[in-house]
Amino acid sequence: MHFFLQSIAFDQFVVNAGADASGVATEMVTLNATVKFNFRNRGTFFGVHVSSTPLDLAYTELTLATGTVKKFYQSRKGHRLVSVNVQGVRVPLYGGGVNWSSENGKLTAPVPLNLNFTVKAKAYVLGKLVKPKFHKKVSCAIVYKPPKVINAINKPISLKNSCTVV
């Protein structure tokens, strides 16, 4: 099992004033992004069933957005491009983003983010008699830089050199 993280593209990243469910006034974040990675099954004798833990996009310890990989089966010696939508709607910051500068809801300074998830693959060899399992933990350090041009919001950010896979 090999997979290569390709890119993340931010469709929306907005910070506005608001209130949480209990009425506490705080800044709220709405974030929508797409993460793409390539999954390759290098096994010559068996296919694998692939799933994942939720993809968490976080600022320090505060999760801003989550997304899930749909379970799929990858045949032997096959590969597939996986695209995952990661989103968070009106997530309260509670003072977590005090050093973020924004103007009319749009960020004006870079924001460091972390993307964390685990890819799980399971193969059935000899029916269900032998079940090898593979787990790969992924951690990516991303710096979201607000675009200077209005139409450049959906520009993909490469993840090739910013991720560790264990």
Contact indicator for 66, 88 with CB cutoff of 8 Å = yes
Backbone dihedral angles phi then psi of residue 155, each to the nearest 5 degrees: -75, 125
Q: How many CB atoms lie within 10 A of CB 50?
A: 22
Residue (of 34, 65, 70) closest to 50 by Cα position: 70
pLDDT bin (cut points 50, 70, 90) of residue 102 is: confident
> Tens digit of pLDDT for each residue in 112-125?
999 999 999 999 88
What is the model's pLDDT at position 40?
A: 94
Q: Please list the residues that pair with 5 across neighbouring strands.
A: 37
pTM here is 0.88
Q: Rounded CA gap, 66 and 88, in Å?
A: 6
Q: Rounded CA gap, 73 and 98, in Å?
A: 44
What is the model's pLDDT at position 150?
A: 62
Query: Which segment of 39-43, 58-62, 86-90, 106-110 scores lowest on mean pLDDT?
Result: 106-110
